[in-house]
Amino acid sequence: MLKEIKFMIMLTPGDRYRHSHVRFKGEVLSFIVQYETRLGAKWFPVVRYDTEHGYAHRDIMDKSGTKHKTPMFTEDYNEALTRAEHENK
């Protein structure tokens, strides 16, 4: 059975942590872990860890919206998700 977990934690009035992952039989199939900050009335991603392109990677966004993508050299998505959670604390 697929199990999807989604939640968001407000860190401050202007910073939040978003988390989503899907597991099947204990194995992570996909995930998104994202730190966001609010500028004015809009939320902007600062760093995102995800599996969107078929591999675990980290995107760091600058103020212009440019993404700097780096792969996460991990054994599997379970390890990558654990690292993403740890690095966002």
12-54 residue pLDDT tens = 999 999 999 999 999 999 999 999 999 999 999 999 999 998 9
Domain extent at residue 47: 2-87
Separation between Cα atoms, residue 61 and residue 45, nearest integer Å: 7
- Cα-based angle 51, 52, 58 (whole degrees, multiple of 5): 60
Mode of pairing for the β-strands spanning 42-50 and 2-12: unpaired
Residue labelled with tokens 């199939």: 29
Alpha helix positions (H), the chain: 77-87
Number of domains in the chain: 1
pTM of the entire predicted model: 0.90
Q: Does residue 65 have a pLDDT over 90?
A: no
